Structure 1
């Protein structure tokens, strides 16, 4: 069975346009080879994997199309890389095979597993100056989970493509530049599911025709190449049919055999946040991984995984390879060159307590009923005599809070833990819990009950009916002046374009709009003149080239300090914001390196080394951070960390620069671990030393406003639900903390913590 995928990147038009002649050929051709292909195999075709990107590409063609082809690479017609590459929320869908946060990927993966094709073909375009590429990729950059036999079959398939392209004298290459390491893209995911995936890349001619060092490149020429390799893929799959079928069967047999020999017999995970538990269990199910309720309570590394609350995943199943790919932490690599991320341990991304079960801890009676991923409604709360309360722990609590604020209710947030008398007895509430009083509202008691009941039903959040404002907790009565903060509805402006990372802006947009139903105003970073700044309570500045011009920087500072706005800045945006607006006790880790932290004076005295240019790719990659997961110590007592119950937080990091240590000793909401901050993925020893002990997240008051600076990609690809709450906390809790009276003096007399 052959699955042909076209157009996962909407800007890469030749794949989508090649689908049309392929479908016509298969439907109309009467030659013996085509008839044999149709009779001897099943062919599945997805002509457009990314309808949003495809629509943007068509709009671009209409906008810049001309009667006379313009081959100048500087022409605007050739420049639609990011806008049309992504889906509606600016996500790269080719990275979604594993992560499954976007509706398009959820739909196609369900169908892919329904058919389980033997060959999956993925069509793309690369830079115009390149020729034509097809797998196999770099031999040393294959994920260890992929069997060597898979690569052997790829090489045999390559012979079919080469034979077809040689007939036209087409220039092409293999085993160079592209890899099969990250298991979450379309040409690699099949390899750890008993199939083989083949990547095809054509040198792009997006404007129809473009001049390149290899001569004139035309869109029609690329369509022809993809057409020919579509047919050679079908031909090769049929020619290798016995081998492919045998390989698929053997792959799953080997999976069961390997699981028996593996010292790890299963994984267990849990969280107080039932939404994240459901979402992670659903993710496993999408990958055909079976999970079960934990039948007996067990304790591993001081963490109790409780029966009926935790979930267990046995290794002894045909998706053994996928389980290892999702759960294991990898920190050892043959080479530090990665086409995509190097670490993606998903329980860390979801911030789940999780542990492996070895032979000593494993028992068959731990396996309970199949785990259910379906969201359940919470019970309708009793009618409250005094008000209603619910915890901030749940992933969808920000969505629930915004619904209540948008409906005009007044909501108070607890800055300290408290106990409350409810209609069902005394209940303990952690910091960040929300209280909706009946008093002082513009709505009557019946309307308030309907609103909180709808939150319980729709978001699955347990809402408690409060009987009295007098609490058993000393100094934390529900009408308290210092123990509760009145929360306001955020009005959000998200900056994009002009060098800002479209992916990162899209991740924030998707989280707020699609997941939390919080409206977002999108505005180009270089188009802030004429903006009515007073409309907005929060401005989000993603990473990339985040620096604002001098006039906008001055206006932003005024908006924060004098008008009480909150700036949430991410990655490079956080670095720029700290440099522009905040005082640091230590301006950069470059200073620390000069003092010896990352090599010290001895390294400088040694001078630059002489290297062979042949070592350039590997040497250049040595000190990058290959999309790795780092651990930080989180101050869970700070309002910016409300909703978290333990201090270890895992985040995705893919930049090398670090935030400076602030003068304010309370400003470090999260700080990278001093010892072994790298949890999964690749980072050089030098980078690990530079990062260890530096701030991952800062929060400081600036006059009447606040600045939230986050060094990492806390919304990375929509999958880091464990850190997205840090971002969301900035919307609701950014005024719930204070600055020390004299931060410089306190920094001198206090140990940072």
Structure 2
């Protein structure tokens, strides 16, 4: 009898989890939506969460939104190796769109010299929202359909105020090729009657899987090396705008819940200012409140760290912004049994949407504080560099000019000023030849990023790391190096 009862409960939960859902399951309460703005279902042909959205349908919807809403413009920044578009939406009020170039110039001026004359009280905050850099962690990109719709169509005063005070750089798919690969797998192996058994084929993706891009690179380690077309487009947009907050939506093991930063305190890189972590924690209060409201479990300051600057959640930290990692327990398909009960794909999407919107609420309410932090980050960095005098980094290799060139190329992609050596010279017992060597002045805006890329660090507060613990670029490229 007991076995029968347990079986009955499991079957009931599974049937309930397969009930049709509509937009009210996902979207915030008390919002009227402009009926002239297309819903995701009207363009992609199914309710969000019923199927895994393919990249082509995701792009169709984003283009449809841009065509129908004066809150959105769209930019095609290039193509992936599989020739998929790398799109970026800019979402803000129509009034801000009309003055977008001046808004960007004023915002970037916060990072330059003499920024103390700028008034942040009437300056919009800039938020970069990015989804599913690992393609087989798809709840992020599927949530982007709903987030974009909400921002384009909601007639609530809260959303109007948000858009008046915020410029949102919206990247619905960090990894188009990986997302497409995984969506195909999940959809092809989906049963008409969903099967929550973790042993089902749907939840055992074949190699190489959708995590990586076309050439199987993990793009969430490429924020510093910048070797892939998706990364190059993303980094160019980042440096063009210097966003205050960047969100990075991921998934983790099925038996987990939901994580948001800060990460493990002892594993924060020492070059990251303490104020960065304090602001991250304050933003986290908004996530906690929003997830409490919908009854979702979550945790913070465990499992993940803020050390390697080549990840999406930490790269902003060394560039005057605040990076935020979200990790949602993955259904790995459409519905799966977990240690916490039945986990459905729509549930994972709703959590990601909730975190995306709570980020924007925090950005709006903390706007001036975060803008002032960005200004002080670069002002303090310049003061640190000026106290060191005219110090510079020089690197080169007369045995391999290509290695030297490509290292300089990476620095330039990060808007770091680099000069070719004008004549042969020697320093610290090393020879640097014209045509084979470069000089990087340390007294420039991105001096902290320079330090992070060339830093040789052999002692650590914590001996454990999430993954990457060393990335000194002159060693990675095996070039001669000196500080002058």
TM-score with structure 1 length normalisation?
0.47
* Correspondence 1:56-455 to 2 at 5 A: 56-80=181-205, 82-262=208-388, 265-272=391-398, 273-307=400-434, 309-357=436-484
* Correspondence 1:636-647 to 2 at 5 A: none
Residue pair 1:210, 1:218 contacting (<8 A) in 2 also: yes
Q: CA deviation at 1:355?
A: 1.0
1:554-576 Cα distance to aligned partner (Å, 9 max, x none): xxxxxxxxxxxxxxxxxxxxxxx
Q: CA deviation at 1:262?
A: 4.2
1:592-647 Cα distance to aligned partner (Å, 9 max, x none): xxxxxxxxxxxxxxxxxxxxxxxxxxxxxxxxxxxxxxxxxxxxxxxxxxxxxxxx
Write the distance in 2 (CA, Å) between the matches of 1:129 and 1:158: 22
Runs of 5+ consecutive residues of structure 1 not aligned to the other structure: 358-753
Write the distance in 1 (CA, Å) between the matches of 2:205 and 2:322: 31
Residue pair 1:145, 1:325 contacting (<8 A) in 2 also: yes
Write the distance in 2 (CA, Å) between the matches of 1:266 and 1:314: 4
Write the distance in 2 (CA, Å) between the matches of 1:309 and 1:214: 58
1:468-522 Cα distance to aligned partner (Å, 9 max, x none): xxxxxxxxxxxxxxxxxxxxxxxxxxxxxxxxxxxxxxxxxxxxxxxxxxxxxxx
Write the distance in 1 (CA, Å) between the matches of 2:335 and 2:479: 50
Write the distance in 1 (CA, Å) between the matches of 2:279 and 2:285: 10
Whether 2:153 is the aligned partner of 1:28: answer yes
Write the distance in 2 (CA, Å) between the matches of 1:156 and 1:335: 24
Q: CA deviation at 1:304?
A: 1.4
Write the distance in 2 (CA, Å) between the matches of 1:278 and 1:45: 33
Write the distance in 2 (CA, Å) between the matches of 1:264 and 1:328: 18
* Correspondence 1:633-712 to 2 at 5 A: none
Identify which of 40, 48, 51 aligns with 2:176. 51
More strand by share: 1
- Counterpart of 2:359 in 1: which secondary structure? helix
- Counterpart of 1:42 in 2: which secondary structure? strand
Partner of 2:76: none
Residue pair 2:390, 2:443 contacting (<8 A) in 1 also: no
1:377-419 Cα distance to aligned partner (Å, 9 max, x none): xxxxxxxxxxxxxxxxxxxxxxxxxxxxxxxxxxxxxxxxxxx
TM-score with structure 2 length normalisation?
0.72
Residue pair 1:264, 1:356 contacting (<8 A) in 2 also: no
Residue pair 1:15, 1:223 contacting (<8 A) in 2 also: yes
Write the distance in 2 (CA, Å) between the matches of 1:75 and 1:342: 37
Runs of 5+ consecutive residues of structure 2 not aligned to the other structure: 1-125
Q: CA deviation at 1:233?
A: 0.5
- Counterpart of 2:431 in 1: which secondary structure? strand
Write the distance in 1 (CA, Å) between the matches of 2:430 and 2:391: 18
Name the count of aligned residue pairs. 357
Cα distance 1:64–1:308, how it changes in 2: closer, same or farther (>3 A)? closer
- Counterpart of 2:250 in 1: which secondary structure? strand
Residue pair 2:267, 2:462 contacting (<8 A) in 1 also: yes
Residue pair 1:71, 1:207 contacting (<8 A) in 2 also: no
- Counterpart of 1:21 in 2: which secondary structure? helix
Whether 2:131 is the aligned partner of 1:6: answer yes
- Counterpart of 2:337 in 1: which secondary structure? strand
**Structure number with higher relative contact order (C-alpha < 8 Å, ≥ 6 residues apart):** 2
Residue pair 2:397, 2:432 contacting (<8 A) in 1 also: no
Write the distance in 2 (CA, Å) between the matches of 1:185 and 1:261: 30
- Counterpart of 2:270 in 1: which secondary structure? coil
Residue pair 2:404, 2:436 contacting (<8 A) in 1 also: no
Write the distance in 2 (CA, Å) between the matches of 1:303 and 1:283: 23
Write the distance in 1 (CA, Å) between the matches of 2:445 and 2:421: 20
Write the distance in 2 (CA, Å) between the matches of 1:126 and 1:263: 46
Write the distance in 2 (CA, Å) between the matches of 1:346 and 1:74: 43
Identify which of 40, 55, 58 aligns with 2:165. 40
Write the distance in 2 (CA, Å) between the matches of 1:150 and 1:140: 14
Write the distance in 1 (CA, Å) between the matches of 2:276 and 2:387: 21
Q: CA deviation at 1:298?
A: 3.0
Write the distance in 2 (CA, Å) between the matches of 1:196 and 1:144: 15
- Counterpart of 1:304 in 2: which secondary structure? strand
More helix by share: 2
Larger radius of gyration: 1
Q: CA deviation at 1:315?
A: 0.8
Partner of 2:41: none
1:152-189 Cα distance to aligned partner (Å, 9 max, x none): 11011001111111111211000001010000000000
Q: CA deviation at 1:247?
A: 0.7
Cα distance 1:264–1:94, how it changes in 2: closer, same or farther (>3 A)? farther
Write the distance in 1 (CA, Å) between the matches of 2:187 and 2:435: 57
Write the distance in 1 (CA, Å) between the matches of 2:204 and 2:142: 18
Write the distance in 2 (CA, Å) between the matches of 1:259 and 1:76: 56
1:680-732 Cα distance to aligned partner (Å, 9 max, x none): xxxxxxxxxxxxxxxxxxxxxxxxxxxxxxxxxxxxxxxxxxxxxxxxxxxxx
- Please identify, of 305-314 and 239-248, the stretch whose mean Cα deviation from structure 2 is larger: 305-314
- Counterpart of 1:156 in 2: which secondary structure? helix
Residue pair 1:2, 1:44 contacting (<8 A) in 2 also: yes
- Counterpart of 1:269 in 2: which secondary structure? strand
- Counterpart of 1:153 in 2: which secondary structure? helix
Residue pair 2:162, 2:364 contacting (<8 A) in 1 also: yes
1:74-131 Cα distance to aligned partner (Å, 9 max, x none): 1121123851010011111111101111111011110111111101010000000000
- Counterpart of 1:84 in 2: which secondary structure? coil
Write the distance in 2 (CA, Å) between the matches of 1:76 and 1:261: 61
Residue pair 2:136, 2:182 contacting (<8 A) in 1 also: yes
Residue pair 1:70, 1:207 contacting (<8 A) in 2 also: no
- Counterpart of 2:463 in 1: which secondary structure? coil
- Counterpart of 2:303 in 1: which secondary structure? coil
